[in-house]
Amino acid sequence: MQLHWIDLSIIVLYLIATIFVGFWVSKRASKDMKSYFLGGNKLPWYMLGVSNASGMFDISGTMWLVYVTATYGMKGTWLPWLWPVFNQIFLMVYMSIWLRRSNVMTGAEWIQTRFGKGPGATASHIIVVVFALVSVIGFLAYASKGIGKFAGEFLPGHLSDDTYAWILMGITTFYVVKGGMFSVVFTEVVQFCILTVASIAIGIIAMVKVAPDMLDKVIPSGWHDLFFGWNLGLDWTSIPEINNKIAHDGYSLFGIFFIMMCFKGILISAAGPAPNYDMQRVLSTKGPREAALMSSTVNVVLFFPRYMMIMGLTVLALAFYTPDLAAMGDQLDLEKILPLALARFVPVGILGLVIAGLLAAFMSNFAATVNAAPAYLVNDIYKRYINPNAPAKRYVWLSYLVSFAVVVVGLLFGLITHSIDSIVQWIVSGLWGGYTASNVLKWYWWRFNGWGYFWGMATGLGSSLIVPLLFPQLHAINTFPIILGVSLVGCLIGTFLTPPEEEQVLKDFYRQVRPWGFWGPVYEKVVKEDPSFQRNKDFYRDMFNIVVGTIWQTCFIVLAMFLVTRHFRNALITLAVLVVTCFILKKTWYDRLPAPTPDPDPVPDLQGQPETGAATAAR
């Protein structure tokens, strides 16, 4: 479509402004490694929470969610559990606290806290870096596919989708490389404000333009039902090709699929965050209390506005665009509902703001992902193993180089990817299937050691790449148990064929992180040395809070969906449940959080002036 000059001006001004942000904050970001990658642990938890929410409000994910909401209706609420979205509740309740107590800079560096400095820990450290880079490249390919499809519908020039992706990712890479975590967080807070305004505007437009009876004429029976039985029970007579999409997705037996999704989601959430932008936000907080509050902020600020946009675009497209969608036949691409609905239904001026907001969503997710990459290669490989005393400028240029390199590789993988959904399925079922076993055992079982972790991750990562090739007919979620099983065997063989970690390493980790789980032998040794030491007895309370928190989180989603579809009675019931769960969590979670962490000391400027560049790792 041809954008009005007002809309185009808003978009151009936004892109120019983001470039200058990197320069504006670069001096503050370049003091040292901690400042560049963690913001010096000085950023407020609520800013980090909004930043993290903005990073999750990505355009590829939004396009995918519009697709699943249009196809599955209110039952599409449950499909994001594939990621799983309730991992933020695990983080909020206890996992962020445990992770932040480790007081490290990256997920790979955390390995030393858990496994010490022996050969097994070194092997584990390297395999985490490999996994982190594979994960980053996978997310970049996912981002490039979404932004290309979106920009190709709006931006001028008649370029290919992939060309638009390269241009926009190049602009974002520039300001991320220059400003580090300060740049990422500052711009993401601004971007999230734009996104919130844009999302609520779309939701209101849909409420005004689409009456319930207009929507009911084109959707199948059961589309409005949140809950389900064993079968999905949706028959799309108005757009028959959607029935083929549902069959291809493999969700017709929805009850069995839901059980598998919960099984996978609970294990992945219990493993803790993958070494990406989510983990970096946790490690960037001032302390354990602030880490938990940061994770809670994501749930509060993200889901309601995002689903105002998702459901708004869905009902607009279905109410007014159903004949056009049906006419596409075999060429139906429901991932393009988002740009099609925007182009047709959003007025001039607001459209420019919405597109700028969605570009902001892409840039937020992309920026957060790119920011995680140099921390692993520069800090965890080059500085630790190759040249720990290199000149500052060398670390600077290496950080620049790594950032640019992973972007290029991610874009190249994006070129060979056919759809957003295909990448989503591989990441959430294949890649995370290989991550889960090692990262569950590391938190909860004292006997698990560095070699067990290495072989679990190595076999898991390898099988996540091989199993989809060996069984292409198998649905992605059904590959998860296979990959998990292979990885678990690797964990157990690696652990039992090698000795436990050093006693002092285990005791130090247990004292510092204080996990619950199977730590009996270590606890007995710690309490002999310090009879006042108290074991973590919060398991049952944490499990209760996870159940309540998951209901609480889901209320934010369905409240927005019921409002946009004008099911006000259901919206009031949802609001009542939301208030009750807020009250419960106040008593059982918020009031039990650790004490606030004092502000960290200012980072000293050893040379009298700020150093330049990315991550001056010389210190």
CA distances from 598 to 280, 286, 289, 595 (A): 20, 8, 11, 9
- Treating both helix axes as pointing N-terminal to C-terminal, what angle do 476-496 and 254-270 enclose, rounded to 10 degrees? 40
| pLDDT higher than 50, residue 352 | yes
> How sure is the predictor about 35, in pLDDT bands with cuts at 50, 70 and 90?
very low
> What do you get for the CA distance between the two ends of the chain, in Å?
52
Report the alpha-carbon distance of residue 508 to residue 490 in Å, rounded. Answer: 26
Range from 97-111, 243-257, 370-384 carrying the lowest mean pLDDT: 370-384
CA distances from 159 to 316, 359, 411 (A): 27, 17, 16
Range from 161-175, 536-550, 600-614 carrying the lowest mean pLDDT: 600-614
CA quadruple 374, 378, 384, 386: dihedral positive or negative? positive
| pLDDT higher than 80, residue 599 | no
Beta bridge partners of 518: 445
Q: Which tokens sit at 614?
A: 């990315």
493 C-beta neighbours (distance < 10 Å), count = 15
Tens of pLDDT, residue by residue over 48-66, are 888 778 767 777 778 889 8
Tens of pLDDT, residue by residue over 271-308, are 988 766 677 778 888 889 999 999 999 998 889 999 99
Whole-prediction pTM value? Answer: 0.83
- Per-domain residue ranges of the chain: 5-240+273-384
Report the alpha-carbon distance of residue 378 to residue 355 in Å, rounded. Answer: 35
Beta carbons of 204 and 58 less than 8 angstroms apart:
no
Q: Which tokens sit at 546?
A: 């996870």
Report the alpha-carbon distance of residue 437 to residue 111 in Å, rounded. Answer: 15
Sorted by sequence, the CB contacts under 8 Å of residue 138 that are 6+ apart come out as: 410, 413, 423, 426, 427, 431
How high does pLDDT run on average in the chain?
A: 81
> How sure is the predictor about 510, in pLDDT bands with cuts at 50, 70 and 90?
very high
| pLDDT higher than 90, residue 251 | no
Beta carbons of 57 and 196 less than 8 angstroms apart:
no
pLDDT at site 276:
63
pLDDT at site 133:
78
Residue with the two structure tokens 């926009």: 168
Q: Which tokens sit at 56?
A: 């999750």
How would you write 585-614 as a 3-class SS string? HHHHCHHHCCCCCCCCCCCCCCCCCCCCCC
| pLDDT higher than 70, residue 176 | no
> How sure is the predictor about 446, in pLDDT bands with cuts at 50, 70 and 90?
very high
Top-confidence residue, 563 or 239: 563
Q: Which tokens sit at 168?
A: 């926009």
Residue range 240-259: mean pLDDT, rounded: 83
pLDDT at site 615:
33
Question: CA angle at residue 250 from 321 to 150, to 5 degrees?
Answer: 40
Is the backbone peptide bond immediately before 84 cis, with ω within 30 degrees of 0? yes
Beta carbons of 87 and 268 less than 8 angstroms apart:
yes
Beta carbons of 97 and 283 less than 8 angstroms apart:
no
Report the alpha-carbon distance of residue 458 to residue 435 in Å, rounded. Answer: 9
Top-confidence residue, 148 or 19: 148
Q: Which tokens sit at 206?
A: 């849909």
Tens of pLDDT, residue by residue over 549-558, are 999 999 999 9
pLDDT at site 398:
79
| pLDDT higher than 50, residue 481 | yes
Q: Which tokens sit at 420?
A: 């957003």
Tens of pLDDT, residue by residue over 118-172, are 899 889 888 887 887 777 777 777 677 777 777 776 766 677 777 777 777 776 6
Amino acid at 360: A
Give domain 5-240+273-384's CATH number out of 1.20.1730.10, 3.10.310.10, 3.30.465.10, 3.40.640.10.
1.20.1730.10
Sorted by sequence, the CB contacts under 8 Å of residue 69 that are 6+ apart come out as: 76, 310, 311, 314, 561
pLDDT at site 452:
96
**Percent of the chain with pLDDT strictly greater than 70:** 79
Q: What are phi and psi of 50, to 5 degrees?
A: -65, -40
Question: CA angle at residue 45 from 41 to 51, to 5 degrees?
Answer: 95
Top-confidence residue, 103 or 581: 581
